Amino acid sequence: MKKIIIILSVAFVALSSCQSLKEEWDPVFTIKNEDPAAFVPYTEATLPGFAGEFTTIQDLKALYKGGGVEIAEALWIRGQVISSDVSGNIYRELYIQDDTGGIDVKIGKSSLYSEYKIGQWVYVNCKGLTLGAYNGMPQLGMAPDQTTTNEYETSYIDEWGIINSRIFRGEFAEPLAPVEVDENKLKMALAAGYTGELWGKYVVIKGLKYDNQIFALVYPNPNLPHKSTNPENRVFLSDKGTWNINTWALSKARYINAVQVGQFDTAEVGSGNTRYGPITGKPSEYLSDGKVLGSFGRDADLTYKEIMVKYATANYVSHYFTIGKTSVQVRTSGFAKFADDVLHYDITDGGHTCDITGILSLYSGSAQFTLVDEPSVSVKIN
Amino acid sequence: MKRILFALVALAACLTLSAQEYTGGVKGIVVDRNGRQPLENARLTLLSGAQELAVIETGEDGSFLFPNLDNGSYTLVITAPEFLENQVQVTVNDGYVKNMFTLSLTSIQKVADIDDDSFAAFDLDDSGYNDNPTILFGSNDVFNSIAGYNFSSVRFRARGYISESQEVYLAGVRLNDAITGYSPYSLWSGLNEAMRSKESVNGAEVSDCGFGGYNGLTNIFGDASSVRKGLRGSVMTNSTLYRLRLMASYATGPMDNGWSFAANVSARLGGNDWIDGVYYRSLAYYFGADKVFNRNHRLSFAFFAAPGERGAQNASTQEVYDLMGDNMYNSNWGYQNGKVRNARVRKTHEPVTFVKYDYTPDDVFSASATVLYRFGKNGYTALDWYDAQDPRPDYYRNLPSYYYGNIDGDYVADLNRNNPDKYMTAKNVWSHANMYPELTHINWDRIYNINRMQEGGRSKYVQEERHVDQNDLNFAASFKWRASDAVNVTGGLSGRINKTEYYKQIADLLGGEYFVDIDNFAEREYASQPWKIQNDLDYFLEHGEARKLKVGDKYGYDYNAQFRSVGAWANGHFVIENLSADLSGRIGYESFWREGLMRKGLFPGVPTDNDMVSKWEAAGVEYAGPGAQSSYGESEHLGFLTYAAKLGLNYVIGGTQRVYSHVGYFNDAPRFNQVFLSPRTRNAIMDGITPTRTFTADANWQYSGNGINLRASVYYTQIKDQCKVMSAYDDIQNAFSNFAITGIDQAHSGFELGFKVPSYLVDDLYVQGVFAYGKNLYTSKPVMTQTVDNSAEEVMKDVLLPYWDLTYFEDGTVQRHHVPSTPELATSLGLSYSFNYWFIEADVEYFDNAYLDMSPLYRTDYAVAGLDNNPTWEEMAYMTTQEKFDPAFLLNASVGKSWFIKRKYQLGFSFNAKNILNNRNVKTGGYEQTRIVDNTVSNERFYRFDPKYFYMSGFNYMLNIYFRF
């Protein structure tokens, strides 16, 4: 009997000690998980593979020659974070700035503010990344998608293996103060075009005057094609003042309400030289059979207004301001938490100028502003 | 010696039974409670008080006779190997031979029990899919005893029925979950000894304790006197679920003073060989006591629970499995400080207690009544996050396919995804998971550090615990009356009050200091209306801000599912010689409603007094229009009259064969979880709710004799007007979406064969097998209504699902769609040998015709027609075809032996090896994701998201060593 007991015991111990994952007992014996070690910021000394000097952002931008450039050699840049997506007005991109300039690093992830704090140093190993531009604005991303529909010079840096091997979060530091910009500096930057030092920088422009003009492009059905080659799915809100839009942008709810009360009834479907008619009409009235079938087949007999409500989403709005004779548009996302905040009456009535702080960018030869913080912080009424 | 002589005389008398007339005596037939087959060599002991008068054994046909007894009361004790002891009181009057007719014994399970622990806890969340297998008990029904154990590994469902249709009773009380219908085995996981004694009926048979449904009924006795007498201990190790089980039990059996006591404790601990991150830290305890008063009265009490934690497994897409080289990959866990931590852990402690009263005044009438109460906590943790990146490692945007659009490996340009650099990097990460544990598993360290970096300590990620806490009070009473030699009547009453609270609470702030109770999804659309994004609007209006949550605080949603039911049933059993018939009926009423305990900003309802009106208007709360749908207070009370009827016919041929058949019709209420559109957010109920109607019929032939045991059955069941609600993120609506489906009909038909026959070559060597073949088909085109959590508007209203039951192909053929998640063809053929306390069994199994669970969204005209609203044959075939799993072939074996020590103690072991061929490609279930790819180049068609699968473990074993005395 002793032998039997020994054999059974040995068999039991042998079988019960087989473990494919050696840590399988961890959760059994862990009543409370220990807190992990605190995040350790990267420094020049700890950057993997860094053995040289940093290139300035301005020198990096200078590599751009009118088309996307894949950076094949070792090239590191560093800069301090100047953007935050906490308010929702910036999405899937991070702006960093050094002494020479700022650049949009297209990290294609949301809620970047959770890990990239304003003022924090960020190091970027640019090897394998692509320098490009969007409507003239410099961007650092990945090689463009090789799809027939792609029209960008870069794509997002959104694959985790690439993010972790290219972008390193460094020490926390005091946030940068905005660069003060007057009309002359702005004109110089516009004249310099892509290489203008101001683009991508955190700036404040003082003395801006409201121009009673907005620009917005809405897509009746955002799920359908809406590029310039699809004018049947585009409605421009421009050239007619503000369209009674007195908020920084249009949240979904605000957009639906505006459409339903007829605020945009005179807006035309179409773009460029192709204009179909007001949004009170139907695709079946405006489009040839093939186009209707291809684009709006399901909703061909709804009015565009009804389609806009059915597929409503938040929409950006650009409000125009001027400094001297130079125009600056302040572009706000409909997903921003302050999208439905009303522009202060003192601004819109033209009685007061204002100072606006944000990130300055180039958009098709014009200056464009993106607010980082809420207007109560970013916009100061004079 | 006198007793032996007496017994020999009695036996001799028994053999000449038919030739003599007696004055005073007791006779009857001993049968197996399951299947009613006569038991040969059952031992009967006749007592008068404490004095043993006679001991006899039953004959081949199970019959017995104690002749020449004086008038008076006697106790008859019946025992048989592998059956529970039974005692009955019998009175002999006026010198007649008392005919006890049938005395039944309940079998003890020989093979390892299949219980809730036998199946991995699959993390299906609220996807609406259900992958629960049917648990078949190895009773003396030859089909169940083989299929119940052997087929558990493929999550076999008998006849393709959902497991909820299997009725599970405890101490005479139906315990299927009041809200979901789920079988309640998890309540007593690990209490195998205490809950071993049970009785089962198959199909539409009626049990003594309840009417049952169409998928059998199992009643677990659960009282102290039903626990096997003596002290028992066992240690078990297995390689599929938990590494170690320790169990001990002690039962006194019925003592002379009328008391019985029993206790059972166990611990299940550890992980397993196959699914990383799955672990058990579970205990179980049971205590029961019975007391017999004045022979006729018995009062039983029991209290038990199975508290513990259990890590869950998650399904992934085939792309992930292939890249990881592991079909058992589990995305639920990751390393925290170098230690494994699972994000999805079920934490339960749900005690159950009951008091049962049995009244047995004589051998003509008996009755019992039970009051049972279930309470406690049932939590299930998950990660929750606010304005942060999705932490799931296998989120589709983290996978190579997101950067290279392909279907089954072939590049599809229309999917509009082609970035070779990203694709290659992602592929490299997933193909070298050991080098990138922070990307291929949950990155707990990163989550903590993100939380620590937030101003004020506001956590971006938390671990929530979703609770489903029941307060379940049940009453059931039943009686059994032998009205005459030819008529038996059984019946009963039942009532149930159930209040189940659904809520979630903060389980862990993961390095942060607080979390905020707002609706993440709503904020994306209504950020400028802060009242609208509140999960707890009343708190917000009172305090001017959302609640800051600490560990243990409730948040998100909080509501009660209220359920009430009453019912009555009766069965008449009529015997005319070899023919017997059962005619039974059930009637009842069920009512349920939702009771919101938290007012959500999106669905505030309407203010109920002037104070509320002023508060709401001051805050800008909109309560007219869609917002009038309320998340707070009581919903409409839904009420359903339920009824059912059954007819059973049974014809005995000789002493060995039985032909029997059942027909049943059921009108059952839908369940709470099937009718509320979005119970987490509001009181809205789907339209067109009707009772589910089921018709079932079966015919069976059973042979039991000459060592042969065989059962063959054919069945047909039609289920009509089912409904269900599924939830998923909808990429087109950019919102969490609910799909409510009504009018689901299905038909199940098939053939079952189970057999065990002597080999005739070697003594004690048997050939045994099972063959189950069925067709479980959807037979209707249901309608679907789609809503989103962020709005009261209906995205789709009563949209037909024209491809739910069929896929049409261009060549004129069709594919019928099947009820998923179980093989329709399941076969087993094996050998069984037992000798000198050894047993050896081996079998080969073959499974086929299992299908993937379908998404209703893919079966709409909308999905088939695509963006251009122009359906093509190719789109139809692609979008609506139901995937059929590959067949599977398995080899299993088991061996066991026990030794008696000093004729008093028993030491034994059993060792089971399953899937010896180490087949690691057997899909046991899965589901289509209810998501559509709409961003295509052509803008003409939609594509599916990849489905998710569960796989069976490869080679696995279980060694159980036990000690008894």
The Cα B261–Cα B281 span in angstroms is 27
- Is residue B856's pLDDT more than 50? yes
Q: Can you read off the two tokens belonging to residue B737? A: 């979406």
Q: Which residues of A touch B940 (CB under 8 A)?
A: 294
- With CB atoms and an 8 Å threshold, state whether B340 touches A24: yes
What's the average model confidence in pLDDT over B119-136? Answer: 50
Given CB atoms, is A229 within the 8 Å cutoff of chain B?
A: no
- With CB atoms and an 8 Å threshold, state whether B528 touches A38: no
Q: Which residues of A touch B342 (CB under 8 A)?
A: 27
Min Cα separation B342/chain A (Å): 8
Q: State residue B894's pLDDT score.
A: 92
Q: State residue A293's pLDDT score.
A: 63
- With CB atoms and an 8 Å threshold, state whether A161 touches B899: no
Question: What b-and-e string marks burial along B687-712, b requiring 16 or more CB atoms within 10 Å of the CB?
Answer: eebebbbbebbbebbbbbbeeebbbb
B135 band by pLDDT with thresholds 50, 70 and 90: low
Q: State residue B18's pLDDT score.
A: 38
- Is residue B382's pLDDT more than 50? yes
State which amino acid sits at residue B403. Y
Q: State residue B79's pLDDT score.
A: 81
Supply the mean pLDDT for chain B: 88
**How do residues B11-22 score in pLDDT, each as one tens digit?**
344 334 434 444
Q: State residue A21's pLDDT score.
A: 57
What's the average model confidence in pLDDT over B878-907? Answer: 91
B84 band by pLDDT with thresholds 50, 70 and 90: low
Q: State residue A20's pLDDT score.
A: 56
Q: State residue B75's pLDDT score.
A: 80
What part of A 349-368 touches B (C-beta under 8 Å)? none
Q: Which residues of A touch B309 (CB under 8 A)?
A: 27
What's the average model confidence in pLDDT over B465-480? Answer: 96
Contact A293, A232 (CB under 8 A): no
Q: Closest by alpha carbon to B480, among B76, B210, B208?
A: B208
B34 band by pLDDT with thresholds 50, 70 and 90: low
**How do residues A302-348 score in pLDDT, each as one tens digit?**
999 999 998 899 999 999 999 999 999 999 999 998 999 999 999 99
**Would you tell me how many other CB atoms lie within 10 Å of the CB of residue B311?**
29
Q: State residue B109's pLDDT score.
A: 45
- With CB atoms and an 8 Å threshold, state whether B868 touches A294: yes
- Is residue B376's pLDDT more than 60? yes
**How do residues A21-38 score in pLDDT, each as one tens digit?**
568 888 888 888 899 999
Q: State residue B35's pLDDT score.
A: 54
B69 band by pLDDT with thresholds 50, 70 and 90: confident
Given CB atoms, is A117 within the 8 Å cutoff of chain B?
A: yes
Q: Which residues of B touch A146 (CB under 8 A)?
A: 418-420
What part of A 238-277 touches B (C-beta under 8 Å)? 251-254
State the best of B399, B423, B425, B793 to mutate against chain A, taking most chain A CBs within 10 Å: B425
Q: Can you read off the two tokens belonging to residue B508? A: 């862990």
- Is residue B5's pLDDT more than 50? no
- With CB atoms and an 8 Å threshold, state whether A147 touches B418: yes
Q: Which residues of A touch B961 (CB under 8 A)?
A: 8, 12
Q: Which helix (H) or strand (E) holds B873?
A: helix B873-880
Q: State residue B525's pLDDT score.
A: 78
Q: Which residues of B touch A155 (CB under 8 A)?
A: 419, 422
Cα distances from B321 to residues A206, B123, B431, in angstroms, run 57, 17, 10
Which residue in the set A109, A146, A164 is minimally distant from B389, CB to CB? A109
Q: State residue B256's pLDDT score.
A: 86
Q: State residue B326's pLDDT score.
A: 94
Residues 6+ apart with CB under 8 A from B841: B830, B831, B832, B833, B893, B894, B895
A195 band by pLDDT with thresholds 50, 70 and 90: confident
Which residue in the set A159, A297, A338 is minimally distant from B426, CB to CB? A159
Which residue in the set A158, A251, A295 is minimally distant from B525, CB to CB? A251
Which residue in the set B281, B337, B388 is minimally distant from A34, CB to CB? B337
What part of A 309-348 touches B (C-beta under 8 Å)? 313-314, 335-341
Q: Which residues of A touch B271 (CB under 8 A)?
A: 19, 21, 24-25, 27-28
- With CB atoms and an 8 Å threshold, state whether A253 touches B528: yes
The Cα A30–Cα A51 span in angstroms is 42
What's the average model confidence in pLDDT over B696-711? Answer: 91
- Is residue B83's pLDDT more than 90? no
Q: Which residue has the higher pLDDT, B803 or A252?
A: B803
B133 band by pLDDT with thresholds 50, 70 and 90: low
Q: Can you read off the two tokens belonging to residue B937? A: 């180049």
The pairing of beta strand B943-944 with beta strand B932-933 = antiparallel
- Is residue B218's pLDDT more than 50? yes
- With CB atoms and an 8 Å threshold, state whether A161 touches B243: no
- Is residue B210's pLDDT more than 50? yes
Q: Which residues of A touch B235 (CB under 8 A)?
A: 12
Residue ranges of E strands in A219-353 = 235-237, 268-271, 274-278, 317-323, 326-332
Q: Which residues of A touch B281 (CB under 8 A)?
A: 27-28
Contact A339, A251 (CB under 8 A): yes
- With CB atoms and an 8 Å threshold, state whether B453 touches A34: no
What's the average model confidence in pLDDT over B910-935? Answer: 91
Given CB atoms, is A80 within the 8 Å cutoff of chain B?
A: no
State the best of A114, A162, A311 to mutate against chain B, taking most chain B CBs within 10 Å: A114
Least confident of A66-75, B81-90, B184-193, B796-805: B81-90
What's the average model confidence in pLDDT over A83-107? Answer: 95
**Would you tell me how many other CB atoms lie within 10 Å of the CB of residue A82?**
22
What's the average model confidence in pLDDT over B677-698? Answer: 92
Compute the Cα dihedral for B931, B937, B940, B946 and give only its sign: negative
The structure tokens 């009244």 sit at B359
Q: Which residues of A touch B277 (CB under 8 A)?
A: 27
The Cα A198–Cα A328 span in angstroms is 14
Contact B344, B447 (CB under 8 A): no
- With CB atoms and an 8 Å threshold, state whether A19 touches B271: yes
Residue B882 φ then ψ, to 5°: -95, 130
Min Cα separation A316/chain B (Å): 13
The Cα B336–Cα A279 span in angstroms is 55
| Nearest residue in chain B measured CA to CA from A296 | B868
Q: State residue B8's pLDDT score.
A: 37
Supply the mean pLDDT for chain A: 91
Q: State residue B735's pLDDT score.
A: 74
Given CB atoms, is A15 within the 8 Å cutoff of chain B?
A: yes
What's the average model confidence in pLDDT over B701-721? Answer: 93
- With CB atoms and an 8 Å threshold, state whether A24 touches B397: no
Given CB atoms, is A103 within the 8 Å cutoff of chain B?
A: no
The percentage of chain B sitting over the pLDDT mark of 90, rounded to a whole number, equals 62
A226 band by pLDDT with thresholds 50, 70 and 90: confident
Q: Closest by alpha carbon to B723, among B640, B786, B783?
A: B783
B635 band by pLDDT with thresholds 50, 70 and 90: very high
Q: State residue B136's pLDDT score.
A: 56
Contact B286, B264 (CB under 8 A): yes
What's the average model confidence in pLDDT over A71-76? Answer: 94
Min Cα separation B531/chain A (Å): 14
- Is residue B386's pLDDT more than 70? yes
Which residue in the set B270, B311, B339 is minimally distant from A33, CB to CB? B339
- With CB atoms and an 8 Å threshold, state whether A341 touches B528: yes
Q: Which residues of A touch B243 (CB under 8 A)?
A: 16, 19, 24-25
Min Cα separation B366/chain A (Å): 47
The Cα B495–Cα B380 span in angstroms is 29
Least confident of A358-372, B101-115, B716-730: B101-115
The percentage of chain A sitting over the pLDDT mark of 70, rounded to a whole number, equals 97
Which residue in the set A12, A35, A86 is minimally distant from B448, CB to CB? A35
Q: State residue B2's pLDDT score.
A: 45
Q: State residue B21's pLDDT score.
A: 46
- With CB atoms and an 8 Å threshold, state whether B901 touches A1: yes
CB pairs below 8 Å between A and B: how many?
Answer: 210
- Enumerate domains of chain A plus CATH numbers: 1-36 (no CATH), 57-169 (2.40.50), 179-212+316-381 (2.40.50), 217-310 (no CATH)
Q: Which residues of B touch A34 (CB under 8 A)?
A: 336-337, 339
Min Cα separation B611/chain A (Å): 27
The Cα B865–Cα A57 span in angstroms is 49
| Nearest residue in chain A measured CA to CA from B796 | A310
Q: Which residues of A touch B311 (CB under 8 A)?
A: 27
Q: Which residues of A touch B449 (CB under 8 A)?
A: 36, 38-39
Residue A167 φ then ψ, to 5°: -120, 125
